[in-house]
Amino acid sequence: MKKHDLKQRGLPVIHDHAAGIDIGSRFHVVAVPADLAKDSVQTFQAFTSDLERLANWLVNLDITTVAMESTGVYWIPVYEILEAHGLQVVLANAREARAVPGRKTDVNDAQWIQRLHACGLLRAPDREISALRSYLRLRERHLDYAAAHIQHMQKALTHMNLQLHHVVTDITGVTGMRIIRAIVAGERSLSVLAAMSDTRCKAGIEVIQASLVGNYQPEHVFCSDAGAVHV
C-alpha cells in the first residue's frame, strides 16, 4: 500500500523506507513499500546465501529499518545478517502485531508488519533485551534437560531397588551425587558409601546404608551414570 493510502486511513507514515518480514522455518516473506519496488512482496529461502541476497535487496532499495516477529528461533540469523548490513531491525511481539485493529483479509503477514512498522506502531526492545531472552530460553531448556536426566537416575535406582532418593532430600545434592558417582565408579561397600553423606544430611548412616542394599546390575548402573553426567 502506498504512503498516501495510509494517510487517507488516518495512519501517518513515520518510516518511509520500512520493510516487514514474515519469518518462517524454511522461507521468509518480505514486504517493502509499493512505490520502492515493482514486486514489493518477495520470498527468500532460509539458506544463508538467500538471507544475504535478502539483505542486499533491501539495502539497494534504500530500506533503513526492518520489522519482523520473534517467531521461535528462526528470526535470529535473519536479525543478525540484516543488522550486519547496517539495517535497523525491530523485533516485534507477535501478539502486538495481531492485536492492532484494522487488518484486511487481502493483506498478508509481511505486508501487515510492514504497514504497522511504517506507521510506527511496533515497539522495538533493546538489543540487550533480545540477548537476555536468548539466554533465558537456553536456561529454560537446560533445566528441562536436567529434569529429564534426574528422572533417568531415579528410574535406574528403582530398578536396582536402591531407595536413596527416598532417604535424602535431593539426589542431585551433595550427598546424593557423591554416592551415585561412587557407585558408578565401582564402590559397593555400604559403609563407605554411607560415610559420604554430608554432615547436614538428616538421614542417619544406618538408614542410608539400608537404602543402598540392592541389585547392582551393570545396565542399571550405566543408566544412572548417563543421568549423573548431565546433572
Q: What is the pLDDT of residues 147-167, one digit of tens each?
A: 888 888 888 898 999 999 888
In this structure, are strands 88-92 and 27-31 parallel, antiparallel, or unpaired? unpaired
Could you say which of 3.30.70.1140, 3.30.56.10, 3.40.50.620, 3.30.420.10 is the CATH number of the domain covering 3-127?
A: 3.30.420.10
**Domain ranges in the chain?**
3-127, 145-229
pLDDT confidence band for 15 (50 / 70 / 90): very high
Phi first, then psi, for residue 19 (nearest 5°) are -120, 160
Per-residue cell: 169? 532430600
In tens, the pLDDT along 169-196 reads 888 888 889 999 999 999 999 999 999 9
| Alpha-carbon span 205 to 176, nearest angstrom | 13
Cα distances from 226 to residues 90, 141, 150, in angstroms, run 42, 18, 10
| Alpha-carbon span 116 to 20, nearest angstrom | 9
In tens, the pLDDT along 45-65 reads 999 999 999 999 999 999 999
Q: Are 77 and 23 in contact (CB under 8 A)?
A: no
DSSP three-state, residue 103: coil
The pLDDT score that the predictor gives to residue 99 is 59
Q: Is the pLDDT of residue 82 over 90?
A: yes
- CA dihedral of residues 202, 207, 208, 213 (deg, nearest 10): -160
Interacting residues of 25 by C-beta distance below 8 A, sequence separation 6+: 46, 72, 74
